[in-house]
Structure 1
Amino acid sequence: MQITVTRRGLRNTVLALSMLALAGCSMFSNKNPRYDPVPLTEYAAGVSANVAWSVSIGSGGSFGFVPVLVGDSVYAAAPNGAVSKVDLASGRVQWRGDAKTDLTAGVGSDGGTTAVAAADGTVVAFDDSGTEKWRAKATSAVNIPPAVGAGVVVVRSSDYRIQAFDAATGEPRWNIQRPGPALALKTNMQMIIVDGMLISGLPNGRMMAINASNGSVQWEGTISVSQGATDLERISDVVGTPQIQGPLLCGVAYQGRAVCFDVSQGGRPVWEQNFSSNTGMATDIQQAYIADQRDVVHAFALADGHEVWKQDGLRNRRLSAPAVVPQAVAFGDFEGYVHFLSRTDGKLLGRVKVGGDAITSPLLATDRGVLVQTGNGNLVLVGVN
């Protein structure tokens, strides 16, 4: 996956310079064949995967968009401002909303309030009929999906501020700001609300647990510490979605580490591995699954962090963040394929093409299969047997 680097202040100039720098050492440069995506190979099929349904939810795709499952309904948004609620079983659109502005992030939903965000920091909330409830303004651009729950809508803006708005009225409730690095990634990142606690990774390599109702910080832990002589070398953002399995809270950083903390013992680190991921991890009760910068997939034991297996058959295919289903662990790629790997040993078990250009949104596991938001604004359910 290609990564866009952004900077606070002089944003456009530095963005252009950063992209030129990255282009010179691109993992997909034709000047060095070892960075080319590996071709698809034959494999012994171990699962059957098929498109159960596909529906258009708008147009476009980007890192800040990921579907949300609440009960039997899927909430999703697209960069052109379209917001939808879709029945998981059939793919039938239950309602459509319009934010009336281009979006940079969405969605967050608890089933009662569904929120999206725009480049200028505008946060738009809808009720569960698709009618706009309110608009509010964050302090700067929002590029990761809002988190909704515990009576609040929470966004993290590009000035490294976490802000909460009342879910019913849109009135500001609290905000927290931490010092941020000179450069930060624009890639897949998500916040979650669990048992009234907001869990968020940060661009400074740290993870926070915040009381969602009042904004009091309950815990901070270090995933990674910046190293290197240049701003590019010192990027150490926590990426993907925080993972919770029993007492463990796990995360991974770019140019950093994968770490699991034990929240029942004050958040002490249980294990850590030097690692660099562009997209984040997924977990089940036994293992964490993560693709590294070269799209080599690794499985680590949750108990002690030892490496169980790795799979390089998808190297340089710009993999999405994964999803774990009973039959396999799934990754999307830059050609619109969804690949299924054995959770036991990493062997390739199946693949299906869903189309729609590169899959940049994280995959979402459901009890009916894997939800995929494609690069051209489709929402697809892939059934797995």
Structure 2
Amino acid sequence: MFLPTWTRWLTIASLGVLSACSSAPEKPQPAPLPALSGAFKVQKVWSNQVGVVNTPLFASVHGQQLAVASTSGQLALLDASSGRDVWRLNLGAPIQAGVGGDGQRFAVVTQNNELVAVESGRVIWRQALSALSYTPPLVAGERVFVLTGDRAVTAFDGATGQKLWTQQRPGDPLVLRQAGLLMPVGDQLLVGWGGRLVALNPLTGAVRWETLIGTTRGTNEVERLVDLVAGVSRSGNSVCVRAFQASVACLDGLNGRVAWSRSAQGHQGLDGDGQTLWGVESDSKVLAWQRATGAPLWTQDALRFRGLSLPLAWSRTLVVGDQDGWVHFLSPSDGQALQRISTDGSAITGKPVAAGQTLVVVTRTGGVFGFRPE
């Protein structure tokens, strides 16, 4: 049986680590690179370097600027049009989760369980956390919100770092060692707690509603693990989410009413527009669903076992990165391979992002690359 790469991203909440069995079958070989239609032209316009990324870090986009980070502690704000540094800061401690930001303030969590807030290239405050976090902090409404591995959500004042409130659910035996769901919708804070999507009052932490998205199953703790993962597609009030290795669902983000739910074997989030939702399964099949009903539209398996990243709908294409540093441009309507371009040979991390007219990807060895249509 194929042992998926997500087994490396499980951890016991009380500090123990769960690793894959050394006698597991060899991983299947990636599919040959598919032929290209050449219907889309793209070129690399700049590159930069931030440092090795081997923790769950994401780029944070704000207009024509984006913040990126390395595991070793580098945090940089880049100009997306040129790739040049606006500012760069060495935090002096390894970074575990980030980057969160609102364009003015940025926040990361270090491996020392410390929340660090930065403004204009300097640290403005630090706060100790109750546990390690794998989810980028959310900076919104003059506050910083953090989801930690012990299922606690904590709000801090954005200017001073003062703790404002904490809301917590009982911890599960296992939690994912990857980014979870934490996002604002209207005047609510949405958070993934296990298989449930919960809406909190951002001023007090009080629970407003909760909806079951993924249910536990299996005969052991690993098989029963369920969690909502980072990578949410929002269109108006429609919010579409993935429960780890269980399901994909779309619901009303204001009241939690589920429009549809389908079984799906993926471990990363989604992207979409008003009509279509796209996702990548754990074996790197790319799937598309009708957003309103969940009806399957197409499946593309030409990139199977290539370790694909989260998808991004960009410039009339669907973009995914792979474990060998290729950036693939697919047709959003049928998944056909339109174009691909190389980076530095190391895996694309996090999710490709769009800043203005520029597509940006970050690699495992810390390369930051900007692309634009020709």
- How would you bin the TM-score normalised by the shorter chain? over 0.9
Alpha-carbon distance in structure 2 between the residues aligned to 1:356 and 1:212: 42
Q: 1:248 aligns with which of 238, 242, 254?
A: 238
Q: How does 1:80-99 map to 2 (within 5 A)?
A: 80-99=72-91
Q: How does 1:118-129 map to 2 (within 5 A)?
A: 118-127=110-119, 129=120
SS at match of 2:144: strand
Q: How does 1:338-357 map to 2 (within 5 A)?
A: 338-355=327-344, 357=346
Specify the alignment match of 1:69 in structure 2.
61
Specify the alignment match of 1:221 in structure 2.
211
**Aligned CA distance change for structure 1 residues 261 and 185 (closer, same or farther; 3 Å):** same
Specify the alignment match of 2:19 in structure 1.
19
Q: Give the TM-score, by structure 2 length.
A: 0.94
1:2 correspondence with 2:32: no
Cα pair 1:336 1:357 within 8 Å, conserved = yes
Cα pair 1:117 1:146 within 8 Å, conserved = yes
1:189 correspondence with 2:176: no
Which range moves more in the overlay, 131-140 or 347-356?
347-356
Specify the alignment match of 1:206 in structure 2.
196
Cα pair 1:237 1:253 within 8 Å, conserved = yes
Letter in 2 for 1:353: S
Specify the alignment match of 2:297 in structure 1.
308
Q: 1:324 aligns with which of 313, 335, 338?
A: 313
SS at match of 1:365: strand
Deviation at 1:96, TM superposition (A): 0.8
Alpha-carbon distance in structure 2 between the residues aligned to 1:190 and 1:369: 26
Letter in 1 for 2:183: I
Q: 2:161 aligns with which of 170, 177, 181?
A: 170
Q: Which runs of 5+ in 1 are unaligned?
A: none
Cα pair 1:240 1:321 within 8 Å, conserved = no
Deviation at 1:197, TM superposition (A): 2.7
Q: Give the TM-score, by structure 1 length.
A: 0.91
**Aligned CA distance change for structure 1 residues 322 and 189 (closer, same or farther; 3 Å):** farther
Cα pair 2:309 2:321 within 8 Å, conserved = yes
Alpha-carbon distance in structure 1 between the residues aligned to 2:336 and 2:224: 34
Q: How does 1:50-69 map to 2 (within 5 A)?
A: 50-57=43-50, 59-69=51-61
Specify the alignment match of 2:277 in structure 1.
288
CA deviations 1:26-53 (Å, max 9, x no partner) are 6xx25xxxx2211213221121122121
Cα pair 1:325 1:366 within 8 Å, conserved = no
**Aligned CA distance change for structure 1 residues 99 and 120 (closer, same or farther; 3 Å):** same
Letter in 2 for 1:256: A
Alpha-carbon distance in structure 2 between the residues aligned to 1:63 and 1:384: 30
SS at match of 2:191: strand
Specify the alignment match of 1:143 in structure 2.
134
Letter in 1 for 2:140: G
Letter in 2 for 1:97: L
Alpha-carbon distance in structure 1 between the residues aligned to 2:102 and 2:117: 11
Alpha-carbon distance in structure 2 between the residues aligned to 1:149 and 1:56: 28
Deviation at 1:190, TM superposition (A): 4.6
**Aligned CA distance change for structure 1 residues 280 and 333 (closer, same or farther; 3 Å):** same
**Aligned CA distance change for structure 1 residues 208 and 360 (closer, same or farther; 3 Å):** same
Q: 1:237 aligns with which of 208, 227, 231?
A: 227
CA deviations 1:152-193 (Å, max 9, x no partner) are 111111111111111000110111111232112223435223
Specify the alignment match of 2:40 in structure 1.
47
Alpha-carbon distance in structure 2 between the residues aligned to 1:358 and 1:351: 14
Number of residue pairs the alignment of both structures matches: 369
SS at match of 1:120: coil
Cα pair 1:205 1:236 within 8 Å, conserved = yes
Letter in 1 for 2:319: A
Alpha-carbon distance in structure 2 between the residues aligned to 1:130 and 1:362: 24
SS at match of 1:20: coil
Letter in 2 for 1:45: G
What RMSD in Å do the two structures reach over aligned CA positions?
Answer: 1.7
Deviation at 1:317, TM superposition (A): 0.7
Alpha-carbon distance in structure 1 between the residues aligned to 2:351 and 2:47: 17
Which range moves more in the overlay, 174-183 or 136-145?
174-183
Deviation at 1:381, TM superposition (A): 1.4
Specify the alignment match of 2:122 in structure 1.
131
**Aligned CA distance change for structure 1 residues 107 and 148 (closer, same or farther; 3 Å):** same
Alpha-carbon distance in structure 1 between the residues aligned to 2:185 and 2:78: 23
Cα pair 1:188 1:280 within 8 Å, conserved = no
Alpha-carbon distance in structure 2 between the residues aligned to 1:260 and 1:344: 20
Cα pair 1:65 1:145 within 8 Å, conserved = yes
Runs of 4+ in 1 over 6 A off after TM superposition: none
Cα pair 2:80 2:358 within 8 Å, conserved = no
Specify the alignment match of 1:107 in structure 2.
99
